[in-house]
Structure 1
Amino acid sequence: MALSKVDSIAIGGFDGMHIGHQQLFEQLGEKGAIVVIETGYANLTPGSEREHYSHYPIVYYSLDDIRHLEGAEFVAMLKERFPHLNKIVVGYDFHFGKNRRYSHSNLGELFSGEVKVVDQVSIDNDSVHSHKIRTKIQIGDITGANRFLGHNYCVKGSVIKGQGIGKTDLVPTINLECPGFLLPYEGVYAALTRIDDEEHFHPSVVFVGHRVTTDGSYAIESHILGETIESCERASISFVKFLRKNEKFDSLDSLKQAIENDITTAKRELRHLSL
């Protein structure tokens, strides 16, 4: 859809595209669009990753490029970009303009169309915010993070060479480098892994952290359950359940036994999913 035809927009940072954000998107019509103000802090859905969680077109503005605008100038910028704009949707805590001095009430005064303000979204009396999701991911509460997101937390990256002992001494893994994404708490996870452009996910055990038993380097490793992936260039990991913390083992045999236990646990955690 051409942006010139857009008649409603939702404005925000929208890192994570979580269930609170989705409430804003539900207020858009058929000719809606999403306006993302990039602050430089997005690491749940960095860059264009947001586009996987909505069918609406997304327009990006860098905060550094517009932070000097007064309120009327900000609204004029939007009207120039979207000439048929008649509805703006924002969250209850939305602020804009120079020094963030303008709120949704000012927006209603400056914009001639409808301004829809969406109230705070909570789960069990706990308000949903991107910073809370980040905290949950960093402490290993991936279940809580996914509940706030409304989807599994996912990281993507390029496949890189591992330390070389997985296939020979432990289990074969895909090793990833995922720049730009917030990486979860160090440990082992039941997860789903997508290879290159495949449509389906593979049940997996994923390790994130320092290889304290072997070379000490930081790694993101996915073992595909019941399969050996011979070659791939990219992969994405969808985290389902935290299994255990990162541990140092006395030997490779002990580490391999722990991995086998992880595989058994992951199979149990993932068996209810239809892939």
Structure 2
Amino acid sequence: MSIATTLKNSTSIAIGGFDGMHIGHQELFHHLDQNGVIVVINTGYANLTPNHFREKHTEHLIHYYDLDDIRHLDGAGFVSLLKDDFPKLQKIVVGYDFHFGKDRRYSYEDLKELFDGEVLVVDEVQHHNDSVHSHKIRHKLSIGDIKGANEFLGHNYTICGKKITGQGIGAKELVATINIEAKEFLVPKEGVYVTTTRIDDEEHFHPSVSFVGHRVSTDGSFAIESHILDGKVLCEEKAEISFIAYIRENKKFESIDELRDAIKKDIAIANRELQRLEL
């Protein structure tokens, strides 16, 4: 079925920004019909699952509106747009804090008045008595609370980027790493992490240990680099790094030997954690 046909035949949609595609967002998606569509209002500020990376976390089709293209619409104009794009629309699913229209002046209460079908409002989703929001996930990542962020997300936080050339001393004096540039994504707190890494278009992720931050012990430049633990892997174009646990802070070592010893300890910790998780 073509995308156009799916949109034409869809009877239910969920509307939101959906950066992160976290467990709160997934609760909205659970209320969609089989042919339901996720409608993303793309603000340009998404950095947990920017752009089409959201599609990795749902089986539903995603339809995008750029905020700049619709921000001028009043409530009736927005609902009219939805009816034009989804002519068989019967149900709209939104969160309790949903706002829309010019200057975000309309809420789900207005939507109920303007739309002649069902408007289903999903209450606040909590995890361990803490409300789940994208801004809280960003905070957890900024302090290195990877496990907490992943619990809110419902999946391991993952960044993707193109392969770039590293400083050149890793394979010669330390360990071989794959270096990436991931400008679209929020990068976690500087430090060393237990990770898994997907290379190019491979289907599986490799066990890995990754470093994020400034290379304070060598050239001082910022880097995102991953060392693959299950053998040498050739990366041609891109890599995805999924973060599992925080190992240690970024710190300066006085010699290459000290740095090498620290990396050996990082690798041992990563191997133990990955074996514990059976990854």
Cα separation, 1, equivalents of 2:56 and 2:277: 20
**TM-score for both structures, normalised by structure 2:** 0.97
Cα separation, 1, equivalents of 2:53 and 2:99: 24
Cα separation, 2, equivalents of 1:228 and 1:57: 37
Q: 1:107 aligns with which of 95, 108, 111?
A: 111
Q: Within the alignment, does 1:192 sit opposite 2:190 as a pair?
A: no
Cα separation, 1, equivalents of 2:99 and 2:235: 47
The answer to whether the 8 Å contact 2:206/2:230 transfers is no
2:94 alignment counterpart = 90
SS across alignment from 1:112: coil
2:147 alignment counterpart = 143
1:203 alignment counterpart = 207
2:186 alignment counterpart = 182
Letter in 1 for 2:213: G
Q: 1:224 aligns with which of 210, 225, 228?
A: 228
1:272 alignment counterpart = 276
Q: Within the alignment, does 1:247 sit opposite 2:227 as a pair?
A: no
List per-residue Cα deviations over 1:116-157 (Å, max 9, x = no partner). 000000112110000100111111111110000000000001
List per-residue Cα deviations over 1:45-80 (Å, max 9, x = no partner). 000000000011101111111111110110000000
SS across alignment from 1:271: helix
**TM-score for both structures, normalised by structure 1:** 0.98
Letter in 2 for 1:122: Q
Shift of 1:274: 4.2
Unmatched runs of 5 consecutive residues or more in structure 1: none
Q: 2:120 aligns with which of 91, 95, 116?
A: 116
Aligned length, in residue pairs = 275
Shift of 1:251: 0.2
Shift of 1:211: 0.2
Q: 1:11 aligns with which of 10, 15, 20?
A: 15
1:42 alignment counterpart = 46
Cα RMSD, aligned residues only: 0.9
2:36 alignment counterpart = 32
Moved over 4 A (4+): none
SS across alignment from 1:155: strand
